[in-house]
Amino acid sequence: MATATRQTMMSAGSQRGPRGFTLTELLVAAALSLVVMAALAGLFGLFGRAIKQSDATMNLGGLMRSAAWQLRQDLASATCQPIPWLAPDTSAGYFELIEGPARDSTYAVNAQNQPTDNLTADTDDLLLFTTQSLTGAFVGRFDGQTIESPYAEIAWFCRPAAIQPIAGSTLYDLHRRQLLIISYLGRSSLVNNALPLSTDRAACDLSLRSGTIAGQGQVLLPNSLGDLTKREYRFMRGGYAFLMESGLFRSVAAQTFPYAFPVDTTQHAVAEAVLTGTKRASEDVILTNVIGFDVRVFDPQAALSADGRVPGDPGYAVPQAGSAVGAYVDLGWGGGVPGARTDPFPPAGKTAFQSAGVMVSGTNRLPTTYDTWSRHYEFNEVDEDGDGKADEGLDDAIDTETSPPYPVPLRGVEVRIRCYEPSSRQVRQVTIRHSFVK
Ligand SMILES: [Ca+2]
Ligand SMILES: [Ca+2]
Ligand SMILES: [Ca+2]
Ligand SMILES: [Ca+2]
């Protein structure tokens, strides 16, 4: 019976009609579908990565646009025209630009004039100035409370990031430290409008200077716009100590004329310039993964080379007479040393911003800096040039005892911000140009 049944089934199976799959066929089909699924998974993975990368790129683009917008706002609302000298009693504030020694041209380029190492550019420039908020008041923190002012002292600069995701390259954080200008605080807890030295400067968004008051000793005093015209009262110049979250004091060394902005061994702003501590760390960071913050000045006499290269660019060749002039260049791109205060300026054969500028008093010089300077050095009863006589007059360079490092107006600035997007390995740049000529 069993044999008969099997024969029946076999004869039925040998007839034309529905038939099952053999084990081999099933295995082949399963293997094929696995291959297809693997391919699909790979495709989706690729797609997902591409989406993630374009997300990251779009995100970076948005962040760079908003940083650029902020810098444009700050520059457009600067409280003064960058035309030396300024008088403190006109409450004009100040404008200071520091060209750190690194230049884009410091780095190797290929035949197409492109940097061979995209991750390295000029990051050691600093921009410091006073500005007015056109879109509501600036907001900051002081004494655990919110404070507001229409005016602020702003510092834009880079510092190396705490975590470096790419071996062999340094990524930077771009900081925008905003210190409110409120010259009278009006707090009943303050004697003589003075803050104690133990004020936590890192948690206090006020523009302050150190000072001495009889009976109170060394104190911190809030700056007015006029105070800030004087270099010695500006951000990081005060020679002050401040209390950190840890309870330890951190001090910024006292400086003497001409009050250079304090930089570290890599020529970037000292670590004390940034917000730290668990409560506020990175609050002043406006962009991360920055590989370029290159500030340039407009030189109306700078002659472009025949192929359009700007003075200071790699491969720049001194052009023939009659070539196009006017370009954004690194301040002091021609190198050399500052000239004597009494020498003609600009020096023969050089444009003002090609030159290294002027000694600011006697043989005192600043690192390459553009500054609106202050007239008060000429009647502060201090002998800045050390010739034994203080303040002889303002009639000409022979009578004055100090000089702005570049005693010429600044017509415009250009800032190139370059960022690296690690997940897509893309480099993006945004260029901000601002003309001070109205
Ligand atoms: Ca530089
Ligand atoms: Ca520069
Ligand atoms: Ca003086
Ligand atoms: Ca003198």
Strand 126-132 relative to strand 95-98, pairing = antiparallel
419, 68 Cβ separation under 8 angstroms: no
In which band, very low, low, confident or very high, does the pLDDT at 86 lie, cut at 50, 70 and 90? very high
pLDDT at 103: 81
Give the CA dihedral 21, 24, 25, 29, nearest 10 degrees.
130
Residue 260 CA to residue 91 CA, distance in Å, equals 22
CA 268 to ligand 2 centroid distance, Å: 13
For residue 396, pLDDT over 70 is answered with no
CA 367 to ligand 2 centroid distance, Å: 13
Q: What are the start-end ranges of the E strands in 20-136?
A: 95-98, 126-132
pLDDT digit string, tens, across residues 339-390: 999 899 999 999 999 999 999 999 999 999 999 999 999 999 999 998 898 8
154, 69 Cβ separation under 8 angstroms: no
Q: Is 95 helix (H, G, I), strand (E, B) or coil?
A: strand
171, 268 Cβ separation under 8 angstroms: no
183, 220 Cβ separation under 8 angstroms: no
> How large is the average pLDDT for residues 74-88?
97
CB within 5 A of ion ligand 2: which residues? 122, 125, 294-295, 330
Q: How is 291-348 classified by DSSP, letter by letter?
A: EEEEEEEEEEEEEPPTT-PPTTSTT--PPPTT--EEEEE-TTTT---PBPTTS-SSPT
Residues contacting 325, CB < 8 A, separation 6+ = 300, 301, 302, 303, 304
Which is more confident, 404 or 397?
A: 404
pLDDT at 318: 78
Q: Six-digit token pair at 20?
A: 């099952």
CA 437 to ligand 2 centroid distance, Å: 21
Task: Report the chain's C-alpha Rg in angstroms.
Answer: 31
CB within 5 A of ion ligand 1: which residues? 100, 102, 122, 124-125
* Count of H-run helices and E-run strands, the chain: 4, 15
Place of tokens 């600093």: 126
pLDDT digit string, tens, across residues 209-224: 988 899 999 889 999 9
CA 60 to ligand 2 centroid distance, Å: 23
Residue 302 CA to residue 327 CA, distance in Å, equals 6
CA 356 to ligand 1 centroid distance, Å: 14
Q: Please, how many CA atoms are within 13 Å of residue 11, restricted to the half-sphere of its CB?
A: 5
Question: Hey, which of 63-72, 136-145, 235-244 has the most confident mean pLDDT?
Answer: 63-72
Residue 53 CA to residue 422 CA, distance in Å, equals 9
Residues contacting 437, CB < 8 A, separation 6+ = 411, 412
pLDDT at 266: 92
CA 257 to ligand 4 centroid distance, Å: 13
CA 383 to ligand 3 centroid distance, Å: 5
pLDDT digit string, tens, across residues 18-34: 677 788 888 888 888 88
CA 210 to ligand 3 centroid distance, Å: 20
The DSSP H or E segment spanning 56 is: helix 23-76
pLDDT digit string, tens, across residues 250-286: 666 677 899 999 999 999 999 888 888 777 888 999 9
CA 257 to ligand 3 centroid distance, Å: 10
Place of tokens 């008088």: 87
Residue 228 CA to residue 88 CA, distance in Å, equals 8
CA 436 to ligand 3 centroid distance, Å: 29
How far does Cα 368 stand from its chain's mean position?
16
Least distant ligand from the CA of 392: 4
Closest C-alpha among 372, 108, 140 to residue 275 = 140
CA distances (Å), origin 433, targets 97, 120, 143, 293: 14, 22, 37, 13
CA 100 to ligand 1 centroid distance, Å: 4
The percentage of the chain sitting over the pLDDT mark of 70, rounded to a whole number, equals 84
Place of tokens 């094929």: 32
Q: Is 410 helix (H, G, I), strand (E, B) or coil?
A: coil
